[in-house]
Amino acid sequence: MILKTELIDRVWKKVNIGKQGRKERLRRVDIEKIINTMLDEMAQCMIDGEDIRIDGFGKFLSRIRRGRVAFDSINKQKIRLPERRVIKFNISKSIDKFIRGEKNFERIEE
């Protein structure tokens, strides 16, 4: 598992490869603001019920799960579950192929 701080460090290192001097390099604080803003906007879109599509990565889909009757095994009785909104993630086909090993992932080192 990768934590958000590790993600920020990785992005900071990749963005600043080959850049020298304080004015050319982005600060970690700036990268952190960008990532936090992106995650906040994605969360707000999901709260509003909007779908998010990021080409080459995947789709976050907001769906309504119908209400249903379930069985509570502890109390031995039927219970009614109300309808609710759920978020589904569909990974992009290109990343799925890399994960399954059907395609070799070419990493470009600068």
* 67 token code pair: 């209400």
pLDDT of residue 18: 74
pLDDT of residue 103: 67
pLDDT of residue 23: 73
pLDDT of residue 99: 84
CATH 3.20.20.140 is the classification of domain 49-103: no
pTM of the model: 0.71
pLDDT of residue 58: 94
Q: Give me the DSSP letters along the chain.
A: ---HHHHHHHHHHHHTTT--STTTSPPHHHHHHHHHHHHHHHHHHHHTT--EEETTTEEEEEEEEPPEEEEETTTTEEEEEPPEEEEEEEE-HHHHHHHHTSS-------
Residue listed under structure tokens 């020298």 = 20
pLDDT of residue 89: 94
User: Which stretches of the chain score pLDDT less than 70?
Assistant: 103-110
